[in-house]
Structure 1
Amino acid sequence: MTNSVNRRARASQKRQRLTAAAARVLHVQGVERTTLADIAREADVPVGNVYYYFKTKDELVQAALSEHRAHLDELTGRLERLADPRDRLKGLIEAWIDRRDIAARHGCPTGTLAVELDKRAEGTLDAEAGAVIRRLLDWAAQQFRELGLPDPDDLALTLVSTYQGMSLLANALRDPDVMTREGTRLLRWLDSLPAGA
């Protein structure tokens, strides 16, 4: 019994290592340039083992999207501990600024993946990437709603589209300062919004 429990635990850990590695490698190299061997190497797992857990590259892309969703949920979960929704939104922006070097090298993990997947002729993975971004939009809209501000969905769209734009420009220009400057502007914008009802 103990041996089978240990085997299941090791298998679960190996799958998680592959999932995390897929998220990292796909962000850095993109879908088309990434091989299963690249992901196996990053996860420190024999390449043959990858096929045991993931039959296709698309399954690994789905796993990477799940990893991005989990990171978003973990971040927003931490931010939910803050009493003030404005502070939660500021915490989100500060997290983006903290990742400025990564954004300058590779862009937004989910945004760049969504754009690349949209260019493929087959599959629904682009919609799955869009669902992760939708999750962020919905969370941000809820914060604006709690602040009692009008048009919370539009405010969320402004916030997230600004993030996507600053990530894209930081990456295109290889300039992490774009994230800092635009992030600071977003923080000022949040402070300028009136307190709601």
Structure 2
Amino acid sequence: MPRNPSDKRERLTAAAIRLARTQGLEATTIAAIAAEAEVPSGSVYYYFKTKTDVAQAIADGIAAVLAGEAAEHSGAQDPRDALTSFLSSYLDDADTTVEYGTVLSTAARVGSGDAHAQVLAWIADTFMELGFAESAAHARAQHLLAGLEGGAALASALGDTAPLEREVAHLTRWVANAKP
């Protein structure tokens, strides 16, 4: 069945994200993006004229994915459940994280700190829903994200999901016992 041509930018962006995550931005060529998205190489230039355009599309695409995930997690009745769901999502992607790093680390490698700021804001907002003051909520958000990303980085460096699994378990207990 032929693909809808109107979703070409989304397919190209998704392909660029996958490639940047698995092989790095420098090795992510227009030809590779085209092949991954199954579109002619020439049409990629319509959307991404430069490597900077590719990097921006990756950053924007990751931000959109994270916004969607935050909305999914926010559907929980209890803010603790939303945070626990977010923590668990790191385990859903653990094998890919071990091999290539996290989606957030990919955003950082293409030069975007916006994704980190977006996730931190969502986590802080969720802690505020639990009754924490703004400054405490922001401190907790930084602690949670630093723990997750650190566990993921160690898992990647060691080639073993165990550090990430342990950190998610620890942070899940920490969230469950959080009292403002």
TM over 0.5: yes
Moved over 3 A (4+): none
- Residue 149 of structure 1 is matched in structure 2 by 132
Counterpart CA distance in 1 for 2:81 and 2:4 is: 39
Which of the residues 139, 143, 162 maps onto 1:158?
Answer: 143
Query: Deviation digits for residues 62-91 of structure 1, max 9, x if unmatched?
Result: 111111111111111111111111111011
What is the deviation of 1:32? Answer: 1.3
Aligned partner of 2:117 among 134, 147, 152: 134
Residue number in structure 2 paired with 1:45:
39
Segments of structure 2 that go 5 or more residues without pairing to the other structure are none
Partner of residue 154, structure 2: 169
Distance 1:11 1:58 in 2: 24
Deviations 1:124-177 (A, max 9, x none): xx2xx2111100000000111111124110000001111111111111111122
1:173-192 paired onto structure 2 within 5 Å:
173-192=158-177
Local SS of the residue matching 1:103: helix
Tell me the equivalent position of 2:73. 79
Matching residue's letter, 1:154: A
The CA distance in 1 between the partners of 2:25 and 2:144, in whole Å, is 27
Alignment of 1:63-102 (within 5 A): 63-102=57-96
Of 19, 29, 38 in structure 1, the residue corresponding to residue 23 of structure 2 is 29
Shift of 1:10: 4.2
Any unmatched runs of 5+ in structure 1?
Answer: 1-8, 118-125
TM-score for both structures, normalised by structure 2 = 0.92
Could you tell me which amino acid in structure 2 is paired with residue 189 of structure 1?
Answer: W
Whether the 8 Å contact between 1:137 and 1:156 is mirrored in structure 2 is yes
Out of 17, 26, 36, the residue aligned to residue 11 of structure 2 is: 17
Give distance in 2, aligned partners of 1:161 and 1:32: 26
Structure whose CA Rg is larger = 1
2:102/2:149 contact within 8 Å kept: yes
Sort the Cα spacing of 1:23 and 1:71 in 2 relative to 1 into closer, same or farther, 3 A. Answer: same
Percent of matched pairs sharing the same residue: 38
After TM superposition, the score normalised by the length of structure 1 is: 0.84
Instruction: Give the length in aligned residue pairs.
Output: 176
2:54 pairs with 60, 66, 69, which one?
60
- Look up the SS of the partner of 1:26 in the other structure: helix
